[in-house]
A and B are shown apart, each in its own frame.
Chain A
């Protein structure tokens, strides 16, 4: 009885959160402020408008030196109490991302209210602009961003950019994070490329086909479609070319990669990549009834991909970033004491990569 009594009295002690009086944040954006300002970081929050339909969100911005300290100023601009537990997307403006974002992500992991499944993205120019942008679909910007990124993780070129994945790569000596790079073009919001991060600083980007290749190297993945250019010289005997170039498009692609360290000293990696997909389109008329034609196409596709893989690795090596995590493979196969990111970057420059690509057309559709 007494227990009950105490329980009833004490429940009033906790801070109450009444849903009608909350502003539920769906997205936050961080930018550098203008140079003449005293504050360092401009924060934009996107929260659901109380009482309205779920699509309407309101952006509010303020500047301060820390991302959480800004709440004090934000609360002067909103009538609701802002809560961050439902946060889906955190956007960082490119200039800020180029200076480093770890202090801003560190406060996320410190905060028990925020889950580790928040998506981190880099916004072209400014995050404030991104969160204020309207999209053609007329969806709430926060939800739109979330669904956009989510879909492209599941079946597109974006490797999972959750807070956990970012921190996991950041805190690992042999791996670097990659984040989707989001642009606003007119009334469109789109993922235009991937931002390559060196530690927590953005130092470059990968275009769409490079992103595909990088993601294909990361374990097993699914992709909706991918277009491969084929070398026509060796295929001439199988068909009458009407165009100079030949393209095939694979769909429902499943990739598997296996990375093996074959030489500890160079270091040299052997990367086996298997790609399976339906061949859905071919840019010229080719008779696909014969198995040898299909095999030839598969071989050519593998050749193209192999040279593309080599090119993308060269690019990553010159930039000294390792989004795939070859460093982790190295560390787990060689007994090295004090393996550091700095040492690995030096080794990465000299590393050799040997690709073994296998493309399989699971089928060629209804017609042959």
Chain B
């Protein structure tokens, strides 16, 4: 990034870190994470969610340390600084592939929800094309537009949290949550691992930090954003455990959506349809961030124009989306992406932190000598 760009007025308020964290972490995972965590740690699943959240805070702390060391440049830049042009470029490509898999996972899963709930007969490519039309349009506005769109979308969807009151009214917490800590430590950790796949996405700060004003304030906002996300996940998990019975929660692939099935108003029979359509806003915001990161990365590695990079990715994504034809194929891919997510959100930042520490130590010693 040249100095000219850093000083330009397109820099965002550091508060937007929070917004980006929200949209990348609460996407499709929020709709369907209960089953996978509950499978491991049963009615102590919420503890797993808390544990995974605490881990995320620690990792985020390491990410911020790494970023500070490199004056809040993005990860693509850090890679090159650490590993040189070729190997660093290869690392960048791997990262881009990871984000690509995440974007396919999110979009295809959302289309699956649309298929199951509302439009059973509309082909995948139609939905994909519609999304891409929106994404191209918004991407041309740059990160600033993405940030503001995400913020507005979050506000439009956020009110839905109030409706959790209705399942809460039917929840039997005393019967479902007690006795505490019945799951063994191993089970809790396995549950946290399952939760990690959902919680991944906070490493988005790696890529957006260099576009923020007053970068020293990013850390606070990032931790705060992560805290809110974690709280939301814990609340939804607690409500689900209270509302569903043991096997009911395991039986349900879309736990959060089914929570809203009992919400009923005289003028509106089924609220989860509204939730699904509003969730589109979150998904769009999430994909925007994903695509922005990918185009940014390709631009950095190959020095291609962002527009062309974006179109190439979209064509590939379209093909990938159409290749995933059935629910069970999707489940396999989703499981795989979940593992990637744990790898790149939780493990990789630690590796980068340690490597950066060693490399910089060696370099500074070499300078002294």
Chain A residues within CB distance 8 Å of chain B: 2-3, 6-7, 10, 13-15, 85-86, 109, 112, 115-117, 162, 164, 167-169, 171-173, 175, 325, 328-329, 331-335
Contacts and interface: CB of A to CB of B under 8 A. Distances in A.
Contact of A3 (B126, B133, B182): B133
A112 B121 contact: no
18 contacts: A6-B129, A6-B130, A13-B121, A13-B126, A14-B119, A85-B269, A86-B269, A115-B262, A115-B264, A115-B269, A117-B261, A162-B262, A164-B261, A171-B246, A172-B245, A172-B247, A332-B175, A334-B179
A6 B244 CA distance: 41
A112 B116 contact: yes
B266 interface: no
B262 A116 contact: yes
Contacts of B182: 335
B269 A3 contact: no
A3 B246 contact: no
Interface of B: 116-123, 126, 129-130, 133-134, 137, 170, 172, 174-179, 182, 244-248, 251-252, 258, 261-262, 264, 269-270
Given A14-B121, A169-B245, A171-B248, A7 B130 contact: yes
Nearest to A175: B245
Contacts of A175: 245
A168 B178 CA distance: 17
9 pairs of A and B residues whose beta carbons are closest in the complex: A172-B245, A171-B247, A332-B178, A171-B248, A112-B117, A116-B261, A328-B175, A3-B133, A168-B245
Contact of B270 (A13, A115, A325): A115
A167 B262 contact: no
A308 to B, nearest CB: 25
A297 B123 CA distance: 71
Most interface-central of B118, B176, B244, B246 (chain A CB within 10 A): B246
Q: Tell which of A10, A164, A167 has the most Cβ of chain B within 10 Å.
A: A164
A173 B126 contact: no
A333 B178 contact: yes
Contact of A332 (B117, B126, B174): B174
Given A3-B137, A14-B121, A171-B248, A115 B261 contact: yes
B324 to A, nearest CB: 19
Contact of A6 (B133, B251, B261): B133
Given A117-B264, A332-B174, A3 B134 contact: yes
Nearest to A15: B121
B176 A332 contact: yes
A39 to B, nearest CB: 26
Nearest to A114: B261
A173 B133 CA distance: 50
Contact of B120 (A3, A15, A109): A15
A175 B176 CA distance: 12
Contact of B123 (A2, A13, A15, A162): A13
B262 A168 contact: no
Contacts of A85: 269-270
A226 B218 CA distance: 65
A10 B130 contact: yes
Nearest to B170: A164
B338 to A, nearest CB: 24
Given A2-B133, A115-B269, A167-B248, 12 more contacts: A6-B133, A7-B130, A14-B118, A85-B269, A109-B251, A117-B261, A168-B244, A171-B245, A171-B246, A328-B175, A328-B176, A334-B179
A333 B179 contact: yes
B136 to A, nearest CB: 9
Nearest to A160: B170
A117 B137 contact: no
A173 to B, nearest CB: 7
A336 to B, nearest CB: 9
Nearest to A14: B119
B122 A14 contact: yes
B277 to A, nearest CB: 13
A167 to B, nearest CB: 6
A153 to B, nearest CB: 13
Instruction: Find the residue from A109, A172, A175 having the highest chain B CB count within 10 A.
Output: A172
B175 A325 contact: yes
B119 A15 contact: yes
B47 to A, nearest CB: 15
Contacts of B123: 13
A7 B129 CA distance: 10
B248 to A, nearest CB: 4
A335 to B, nearest CB: 5
B274 to A, nearest CB: 13
B270 A332 contact: no
A342 to B, nearest CB: 14
A2 B182 CA distance: 57
Given A10-B126, A325-B175, A335-B182, A117 B262 contact: yes
A7 B127 CA distance: 10
A169 B248 CA distance: 9
B261 to A, nearest CB: 4
A168 B258 CA distance: 13
A4 B172 CA distance: 47
Nearest to A328: B175
A148 B270 CA distance: 22
Contacts of B246: 171-173
A15 B114 CA distance: 13
B90 to A, nearest CB: 36
Contacts of B244: 168, 171
A335 B179 contact: yes
Nearest to B116: A112
B206 to A, nearest CB: 31
Nearest to A172: B245
A116 B258 contact: yes
A7 B182 CA distance: 52
Nearest to B177: A332
A164 B175 contact: no
Contacts of A162: 262
Contacts of A115: 261-262, 264, 269-270
A6 B245 CA distance: 44
A169 B244 CA distance: 9
A332 B176 CA distance: 7
B177 to A, nearest CB: 8
Contacts of B177: 332
Given A6-B129, A116-B261, A116-B262, A168 B174 contact: no
Contacts of B258: 116
A63 to B, nearest CB: 26
